[in-house]
Structure formats: C-alpha cells, structure tokens
Amino acid sequence: MKKARMTLDRAYRIGAIDPRIYGSFIEHLGRAVYGGIYEPGHPTADEQGFRRDVLEKVRALGVPVVRYPGGNFVSGFNWEDSVGVNRPRRLDLAWFTTETNEVGMHEFCDWCCKANTAPMYSINLGTRGPEQARDVVEYANHPSGSKFSDMRIANGRREPLDIRLWCLGNEMDGQWQMGRKTAYEYGRIANESAKMMKWVDPTIELVACGSSSSETPTFGDWELTMLDECYDNIDYVSLHRYYGNPTGDTPGFLARTMDLDDFIRTVVAICDAVKGKKHAKKTINLSFDEWNVWYHSNAQDEEIYRRDRWGRALPLLEDIYNFEDALLVGSMLITFLRNADRVKIACMAQLVNVIAPIMTRNGGGCWAQTIYYPFLHASTFGRGTALRALVDSPVYDCADYERVPLIDATATLADDGSVTVFCVNRDLTEDFALEVDLHGFGSLRIGEHIVLHHDDVHAVNTEDAPNAVAPCAGPGGEIDGEKATIRIPALSWNVVRFVR
C-alpha cells in the first residue's frame, strides 16, 4: 500500500468558507427549466407546475444560490418578456431554440423559495445596456411608487423580490455571444450599468464577466482591461471552466485541477494588480460561476440541431456522467476549498438535465448522476473554515502536467469542532494509507468514512439503475491521540469525518 500524509493544525486556516461556493445554475436552455424544474401535469408537479421530485433532490444538495436565466441565453433576453401576462415566444439565438417565457422572473423566485435557495440574476449586457440594467433592479428590488416597482406589484408581487446578487452579462469575450464586446467596451458598459444598478439599490452585489475560459487568447488581458474600467463599482469577477476526456486518458483528465488552480491564482493576481495600480482599498473576489465536466453530449447535440432547429425544450447538453467525472468534480470542489479565501461564489453548471447532477425524464423519474455525490458531500460537510492542509503525496507526470499529487486532499473545520477531510485518490490501482496529523483539535474519533468508487471508470447512473454509482461506507482506519491512519481505496472520492 502506498503512503501519504496530511498535516492539519487548528491554527492554520485559509479562511471562512462562503456557503455560496456550493451554488448552481439554471439556464433557459434544453430541458433545464421546461421538463426539468417545471413540468405541469407531471405526477409530482405542485400547483405552479414545479416538479416536487426535483425540488427534493435540489434541497438535499443545500444549494445557497442559483444563477439564472443564463448563460449565453441572457445575452439576447428581455427581462420584460418574462413577467406579467401575454408573454411572447422568442427565437433564442444562443441555442437556436424557441423560448416561450412560460417560466419567468416571478416563477423562478417562487421556485427558489421552494428549493431553499436564492436567485443570482444575470442581466443582458449583450444586446442591451445600462438603461435596462437599472430598470430590472428597480422592478425586482424597489419597494413601490415608481414605474417598474409598480409594474411588479401589478404583476402580483407586492413585496420586492429582493435579489441580492447580480451578474453583469455572460461571457462577453466570446465570439458565440450575442453582442460580444472588446474588454474595454465591456468594462465601460459594465461600469455604467453597475453604477446605475447600485444607485437604485446600494445593497446589491455585482459580478463582472471575466474570461469564458483560461484558454481564450485574450485571457489575462481581458481581466486587466475590463477591471481597469469597472473595479470601483463591482464586487466579484467571474471565471468559467469546463473539462472533458475525449481521448480516454484518465490520469490526464484527473490532473485537470492543476489547471483550475493556476486559473484561480492568475485571476487573483490580476485583481490584486489592478487594486495596487488603483491604490484601492477594496479587494475583488472570485465568482467561479460556471464549472463542470462537459463533452459527452457534443455529438448528440449536433444531431438534435440537424433534426430540430428552433424546437422547444430540446434535450441539449444532456451529458451522462460516469464515475471518473465524479472524481474530477470532487477534485474541483477540493480546489475551491483550497482557495476559499478568494473564491466566494461558485456555481456548478448546471443543476437539472443540462450538464447536470440531476436528471429527469419527461413524465417520468428523477435520479442523481455520479457527480451529484461529491457535490452533496462537500456542500453538507464542507462548511465552516477551510483549513490549510499540508499534503505530502507521491506524484505522477501526464501529458499536460508534471508532479501531479496522487492524493488530492484538503480539510475543513465545522463550527461544532468536527474536522472533515475530502480526498481523491488518483492512483488507478493502489490503495493509500493516509496518515492525518491533527494538531490542536482536542479529542476526536473517526465518525464516518464515505467512499465513492466503481471498478469501471465509465459506469453511469440511469433511471433504471439509479444507484449503479453510489457512495458507501469506506474502510475507515485508526486514530491514536492526534494521529489517524485512513485507508483510501484506489481511484476513489473520500469523505472522512473526525468528530467529538
């Protein structure tokens, strides 16, 4: 058995974990809304048409914020279409489908209440600008006595919707985006929109668009230029990143969080460079508001478009996630925890059906994909304080990275004094004995060891076999005073809970 060591000390902390790192995302895309969260006539539908079976799985995930309504969709979206009566059907040029606007701002906010979450509302800075940005904040958050607040009241909602967190557009650097902008153009429009939105409601928080990936040619320069324009009026900069494994290289795929970590550190450095240049007091933090694995559905989507351009609620981006995807998702969550001092928001993209942990069949069942489980565990146990874990692990080299630790791990300290270790064993064949030194935490025992493992990296969950890949009790280990030794199975996601 191989060996690795983790050293933890109660005094060595990264910082408080913002619960919003367990955020998610629902876009008007594919079957995320129609057939996902909303399906009137479904046996579990409530009086508003929301699927109760989906709500139950969302609530279990403990998602504190859900980004909405896009995504690429938002860059051609008119928020007014989604409120009141007589809502228009529109061609959505982001996804070449037809949007009926049956579910809109009020319905989504109602769904958020039912799901124990809060909206993170994106505005359109692609085809629209500061005027509509101002209007929508007035509509959502102003109590009454103005054109848009009174329009909200006339539409049936006396109290403000009270949306706290707003995204200033989406991926505005991308060629695929309606109303794409240069970094300077975007920085200017984001700044003017932000100013006016905060003049309407100074208590809101705003996320400016960073690059759509760390691989775009303008990455870095985009952040520098746009932050130079809008630094004073925004609160967070966004990051987006998706990974895939089209060549079936599991060690290389599982090493992708090396890139994720680099991406985060680079954006932090740029934010702080602009802070220095501006002699600013304010620190800009990170909103990693799109992240996941995305590649399984690419070929299927081309086929769908060949058959049905402009269809409604097409089964787009329906990645079926396998076991190795769950391991990478686990490592991505570990990476966010390791950067918890600066990553304050993160949204898994997305939540239901569209590159999602939760799947549904129209008129049928609802089940958890493999990636549901690491998210559930991190969101459930990874709250409180992120500890600065020193991990000493054997390493490996792969096509794109050198010295990748075989044991990817971190730890958190909960308010009740319990310590949770999250760990991915990237070794394809060998178990590890993970020695955990726990300094200054008092007397702890091993409360629980949860493992997610499958012998086949391609194993998936389906409606008929929803538990093919599911967590089970791990082998655990021993603890003697401040030293524990846990057995970590080959190729697995692990949660080890040290409790009082």
Q: How far apart are CA 409 and CA 425, in angstroms?
A: 9
Which residue number is nearest to ligand AHR in terms of Cβ?
Answer: 71
CA-to-CA distance for 494 and 408, rounded, in angstroms? Answer: 10
Which residues make beta-bridge pairs with 495? 422, 450
For residues 347 to 386, the per-residue mask of contacts with ligand AHR, x marking binding by CB under 6 A and - elsewhere, is: --xx------------------------------------
Alpha helices of 308-356 — where are they, by DSSP H? 323-338
Contact between residue 170 and residue 347 where contact means Cβ atoms under 8 Å apart: no
Structure tokens at 329: 């998702």
CB of 316 to ligand AHR, least distance (A): 9
Residue 171 beta carbon to ligand AHR: minimum distance, rounded to whole angstroms: 5
The H or E element spanning position 386 is strand 385-387
Q: How many angstroms from the chain centroid is the CA of residue 130?
A: 27
Please identify which residue in 71, 126, 169, 382 interacts with ligand AHR, judged by CB under 6 A: 71
Closest distance between ligand AHR and the C-beta of residue 381, in Å?
27
Residue among 355 and 389 whose Cβ is closer to ligand AHR: 355
Nearer to ligand AHR, 53 or 171 (CB): 171
Does position 290 interact with ligand AHR (CB under 6 A)? The reply is yes
Report d(CA 442, CA 486) in Å as an integer: 19
Per-residue x/- track, 179-218, ligand AHR (CB under 6 A): ---------------------------------x------
Instruction: Assess 39 for contact with ligand AHR (CB under 6 A).
Output: no
Q: 59 by DSSP, 3-state: which? A: helix
Q: How far is the CB of 292 from ligand AHR (least distance, A)?
A: 8
Taking CB under 6 A as the rule, does residue 27 contact ligand AHR? Answer: yes
Q: What track of x and - describes contact with ligand AHR for positions 211 through 230 (by CB under 6 A)?
A: -x------------------
| Residue 289 sits in the site that holds ligand AHR (CB under 6 A) | no
> Which range touches ligand AHR (CB under 6 A), out of 8-16, 67-75, 151-159, 370-378?
67-75
**For residue 45, what are the contacts with CB-CB under 8 A and spacing of at least 6?**
39, 51, 52
Q: Tell me which amino acid residue 95 is.
A: W
Does residue 318 belong to the site contacting ligand AHR (CB under 6 A)? no
- Residues marked active site are found at 171, 290
Joined together, the tokens standing for residue 150 give 């009174």
If binding is defined by CB under 6 A, does position 72 make contact with ligand AHR? yes
Q: Which of 453, 459, 457, 446 is nearest to 431 (CA)?
A: 453
Stretch that binds ligand AHR, among 39-47, 70-78, 275-283, 335-343 (CB under 6 A): 70-78
Kindly report the number of other CB atoms within 10 A of residue 439's CB atom. Answer: 12
In this chain, which of 64, 70, 330, 357 binds ligand AHR, going by CB under 6 A? 70
Question: Contacting ligand AHR (CB under 6 A), which of 170, 233, 250, 370?
Answer: 170
Alpha carbon distances (Å) from 152 to 59, 137, 156, 159, 167: 27, 11, 7, 9, 21
Q: Minimum Å distance from CB 236 to ligand AHR?
A: 16
Q: Is the CB of residue 195 less than 8 Å from the CB of residue 240?
A: no
CB of 71 to ligand AHR, least distance (A): 3
User: What is the rounded distance in angstroms from the CA atom of residue 172 to the CA atom of residue 192?
Assistant: 15
Q: Which tokens sit at 41?
A: 């006539």
Output the six-digit token pair for 338.
């390791």
Q: Is 297 in the site for ligand AHR (CB under 6 A)?
A: no
Torsion angle of alpha carbons 212, 492, 404, 18, nearest 10°? 50
Which stretch in 66-74, 228-236, 365-373, 436-444 sits in contact with ligand AHR by CB under 6 A?
Answer: 66-74
Count of residues interacting with ligand AHR (CB under 6 A): 10
- Which residue's CB is nearer to ligand AHR, number 193 or number 350? 350
Tokens of 190: 């984001």
Q: Which is nearer to ligand AHR, 235 or 290 (CB)?
A: 290
Q: Which residue shows structure tokens 């109760």?
A: 52
Binding site for ligand AHR (CB under 6 A): 27, 70-72, 170-171, 212, 290, 349-350
